[in-house]
Amino acid sequence: MRLTILGNGGGISDGLPYNSFLVDGRLLCEVPPDVMMSLFREKMPLDAIRNIFISHFHADHCFGFPFLALRLFYDGMAGVITTFGPAGLEARMLELCALAFGKDHPLREWLGGAMRFIEIAPGTTLELGDGISIKTFTMAHPVETIGFTLFGSGGPRFTYMPDTLWSEDLLPFIQSGGKAVLIDLNGEPGEAHRVHLSEADLALKALPRCAEDIVFYGTHLKRNKTAGAGRIRYVRPGDRIEIAE
Ligand SMILES: [Zn+2]
């Protein structure tokens, strides 16, 4: 299994491509405003995308949806894409498309047939096809935000932890969520308004309490960073992370 990092930037960054990644080219996680630039830069075929996962409705995670939808509509995409996201997903995405291109644009009708929207609750297991499933959980963020562990045949492969502060509730999902954790590390020491996890939080709260072969990949950053303490690394756009079967 391969993760392709499309972007590593948070809502505020020094111009990094926004946080987004692909799993085996078929599951697109997050649809930030610049998602089309990132997909084309990494030469990822749009017609391989079967599922979209949106963790929450902050702009850096979903404002690219109208541009992706418009391109798929223009290309005459075959098949149906299933998009997963928090409660209110379908109304929110249709509203974004209406704001972007007008409510009478033919995109609106096309979406009805080409896109299936599934609102997810925490603690749900969703089958994505090709033997892949995700189990969802809640992050500690001001709006409803959902993370997941992805399972392949034989067990957990990796865990995705989008925007969050530290919460003890997250620990079990790290401990049982495979050998790779892609995680929001937007927090920096000494910030007045703490909304995101920092490397220091992770080193203090998680590293000593989970298996030593779990590697943490920080994303959703303010600026590019080099490898942190112990098993903490930072991703960059274009990174490929191979997940052992
Ligand atoms: Zn957010």
- Give the mean model confidence (pLDDT) for residues 118-142: 94
End-to-end CA distance of the chain: 7
CA distances from 90 to 7, 65, 68, 169, 203 (A): 24, 11, 15, 28, 38
Quote the ligand 1 centre to 10 CA distance (angstroms).
8
| Structural contact between residues 197 and 222, judged by C-beta atoms closer than 8 angstroms | no
Quote the ligand 1 centre to 88 CA distance (angstroms).
16
Quote the ligand 1 centre to 153 CA distance (angstroms).
31
pLDDT (tens digit per residue) in 22-38? 999 999 999 999 999 99
Total structural domains within the chain: 1
Domain that holds residue 147: 2-242
Quote the ligand 1 centre to 228 CA distance (angstroms).
23
CA distances from 76 to 25, 29, 54, 59, 201 (A): 19, 22, 23, 26, 46
**Cβ atoms < 10 Å from Cβ of 65:** 25
**pLDDT class of 98 with cuts at 50, 70, 90:** very high
Quote the ligand 1 centre to 76 CA distance (angstroms).
32
From CA 120, how far away is CA 98, in angstroms rounded? 23
Give the model's pLDDT for residue 189. 82
Q: What are phi and psi of 172, to 5 degrees?
A: -60, -35
The chain-wide mean pLDDT, for the chain, equals 95
**pLDDT class of 236 with cuts at 50, 70, 90:** very high
User: Residue 88: helix, strand or coil by DSSP?
Assistant: coil
pLDDT (tens digit per residue) in 158-212? 999 999 999 999 999 999 999 999 999 999 888 878 889 999 899 899 999 999 9
Give the model's pLDDT for residue 145. 96
CATH number of the CATH domain containing 46 = 3.60.15.10
Give the model's pLDDT for residue 212. 92
pLDDT (tens digit per residue) in 205-224? 999 999 999 999 999 999 99
For the CA atoms of 77, 220, 222, 186, the dihedral, rounded to the nearest 10 degrees, stands at: 160
Is the model's pLDDT at 230 over the cut of 80? no
**Cβ atoms < 10 Å from Cβ of 119:** 14
Give the model's pLDDT for residue 57. 98
